[in-house]
Amino acid sequence: MLKKTSKIVLSAALLVGFVGVAQAEMTREEYAVKFRRSSFTAMTWYYGAMSRMAKGEMPYDKALFARNAEYVAFLSKLPKDGFIPGSDGGDTKAKPEVWSKADKFKEANDRMESEAAKLAELAKGGNLDALKEQMGKLQKTCKGCHEDFKKKAD
């Protein structure tokens, strides 16, 4: 038993060490870009299943939908922490307006968080028509932010 525990502790220590080295090679600003992009990716993952349910591409599962809506509501709060000063360069799709129009960007982010929270609350009831309507509202906030603050793909 001790041998197995020792292996687990050693493995965890090595993993933490490798992660620390990887982060040390990145600047704080580069890590911020990576963090916010990862946050958006995670949000998209959970939103995708809800979208497929809403479109009838997969069976509606009230519990899964509610869980994913809760995750999206939580994840919607994370990306803003990665928009730190100096993180406007490198591998980012953020337009300069994120920083030059910071108040407008904050309002757009607050709307996304609010609409995501409303979706999570509605998901508890399970009315698919109401959920589809709220998903449209959430998508509208995402699209608006992308138009104003995200560079177009090359």
Q: What is the structure's pLDDT at 109?
A: 96
The token duo for 116 is 């995501």
pTM of the complete model beyond 0.85: no
User: Contact 64/123 with Cβ under 8 angstroms?
Assistant: no
- In the chain, the number of structural domains is 1
pLDDT (mean) for 27-50: 96
105: in domain: yes
pLDDT (mean) for 27-44: 96
3: in domain: no
8: in domain: no
Q: Of residues 61 and 13, which shows the higher confidence score? A: 61
* Amino acid (1-letter code) at residue 17: G
Mean pLDDT of the chain: 89
Q: What is the structure's pLDDT at 20?
A: 52
Q: Please name which of 84, 150, 65 lies closest in space to residue 112, comparing C-alpha atoms.
A: 150
Distance, in Å, from the CA atom of 53 to the CA atom of 33, rounded to the nearest integer, reads 31
User: Contact 98/105 with Cβ under 8 angstroms?
Assistant: yes
Q: What is the structure's pLDDT at 3?
A: 64
pLDDT in tens, 79-132: 999 999 999 988 899 999 999 999 999 999 999 999 999 999 999 999 999 999
11: in domain: no
| Structural domain boundaries enclosing 141 | 27-149
CATH number at residue 121: 1.20.120.10
12: in domain: no
154: in domain: no
